Amino acid sequence: MDKELLRKHIRDYISSIKKDFKSYEEDREERKQLISYYQEFTKERILTMSSDKLYEYLSKLWAMLIWGNKHYIVDKIIEDNGLDNIKENLANLVWGHEDIEKRWDNFRTEINGMGPAMISEILCKSHPDKYMLWNRRAYVALNYLNVDNLPRYDYQLTGKVYKHLCDINKEIAVELENQGLKDVDLLIVDYFIWAQLQVEDNLSKIYLKKTEKKPDIKTPEQDKFVHDDIRDKLRDIGQWLGLTAKIEQKVSEGSKVDTIWESTIGNMGRVIYVFEVQTKGSIDSLILNLLKSLINPAVQGVVAVSDANQIEKIKKHVRDVKDLKDKLKFWDYEEISKVHESLEFVNASINNLGLVPEGF
């Protein structure tokens, strides 16, 4: 990390505080209220939450600004995971005694529909002295400060990586205190990041193509982690495009697929697009599942999702599969992550306008 560059921005930040101390005090009060709210949810209280209380708990997160209809999203999280399962895993994430590395990975493996931005925000507002808030803005800031090996995509943000990022943010907190700020926690660091480190030139470069670090899949748990992350992003993209999007759906006898996009065309019927995510495993099984899905006449498109190397292998396998070779499309999961990030930004920006009231 470029400490001199960081200190320059801290000096600018302190100078801006002196010029508008009232706004800084308002921000501090907002932080206190946010921390107080989330710390009120003890392990026992989380375990006894109703679905309405879980909605309240999640809907207050900044990460939920990307969704216009927050009720729909929370209902889907409950439907996909089960309320009791969510509460048990959430209580362990926030208040468990195991190392955060293990708690983070366990939660991401067990709970679908809640990504790093939501998870880290809950942790940061519950334990601001220990855990940072990770999102696109945090990536921009740390990248600007020349921090190496940042996770570009959600599937790269393992518990080990998150723990390391928290340590980096603690270094920033120390630098803030060294230059005169008092009682600095990692939520204050987040406010500093938003105020000082969203550099326009850096933001403009974030989407430039560069060599990305591939996920290092060594265990079945890591394989499931990457698989489920991409599967859920496909669902999000479909929802943002105005389609009915679901995960783990049975589309025909013997065929349960990772994600579907569905659209109803007037009174004529429905059209379904099927997505199967392949990280590891048998390509023959992938092909068989996609062939079975095509038995459903509503299925108009099938897409195999994987990395560039796997896609080439799949293409070779389907060359001689008459009923599939001309119908199967391919989508690199790094492109999916970029599309998801772009649409996330667009939706958050539009929803901030407040054009449609919540619950409309």
Domain match, 202 and 225 both: no
Does 111 reside within a domain? Answer: yes
Q: What is the DSSP string of 227-267?
A: HHHHHHHHHHHHHHTT-EEEEEEEEETTEEEEEEEEEEETT
pLDDT for position 209: 44
pLDDT for position 154: 82
Domain match, 17 and 120 both: yes
Does 360 reside within a domain? Answer: no
Does 355 reside within a domain? Answer: no
Domain match, 23 and 122 both: yes
Does 54 reside within a domain? Answer: yes
Domain match, 135 and 229 both: no
Domain match, 158 and 283 both: no
pLDDT for position 210: 45
Per-residue pLDDT tens digits for 247-300? 888 888 878 899 999 988 776 678 999 999 988 778 888 888 888 898 888 888
SS3 content of the chain, % helix, strand, coil (to 5): 60, 10, 30
Per-residue pLDDT tens digits for 11-26? 999 999 888 888 888 8
Per-residue pLDDT tens digits for 71-101? 888 998 999 899 999 999 999 999 999 999 9
pLDDT for position 319: 86
Residues 23-36 have a mean pLDDT of 89
Domain boundary among 197, 215, 233: 215
β-pairing, 269-277 vs 244-252, is unpaired
Does 354 reside within a domain? Answer: no
pLDDT for position 203: 43
CB 135 within 8 A of CB 63: yes
Does 28 reside within a domain? Answer: yes
pLDDT for position 327: 86
Q: How confident is the model at residue 348 (pLDDT cuts 50, 70, 90)?
A: confident
pLDDT at residue 344 above 80?
yes
- What residues make up the domain containing 82? 3-215
CB 93 within 8 A of CB 123: yes
Mean residue pLDDT of the chain comes to 87
Domain match, 195 and 232 both: no
With residue 23 as reference, give the H or E element that holds it: helix 21-39
Domain match, 179 and 235 both: no
Does 349 reside within a domain? Answer: no
CA distance 278 to 223: 10
Domain match, 43 and 141 both: yes
Higher pLDDT, 213 or 331: 331
pLDDT at residue 201 above 60?
no
Does 303 reside within a domain? Answer: yes
Residues 318-335 have a mean pLDDT of 87
Domain match, 333 and 196 both: no
pLDDT for position 25: 86
Domain boundary among 215, 237, 267: 215
Domain boundary among 194, 215, 236: 215
pLDDT at residue 357 above 80?
no
Domain match, 225 and 207 both: no
Q: What are phi and psi of 182, to 5 degrees?
A: -110, 150
Q: How confident is the model at residue 224 (pLDDT cuts 50, 70, 90)?
A: confident
Higher pLDDT, 167 or 358: 167
Alpha-carbon distance values, 15 to 12, 140, 170, 179, 207 (Å): 5, 22, 22, 11, 32
Domain match, 69 and 107 both: yes
Percent with pLDDT over 90 in the chain: 48
pLDDT for position 355: 67
pLDDT for position 358: 58
Cα angle for residues 305, 310, 316 (degrees, 5° grid): 105
Domain match, 161 and 56 both: yes
Per-residue pLDDT tens digits for 38-62? 999 999 999 999 999 999 999 999 9
As for how many domains the chain has, the answer is 2
The CATH number of whichever domain residue 229 belongs to comes to 3.40.91.70
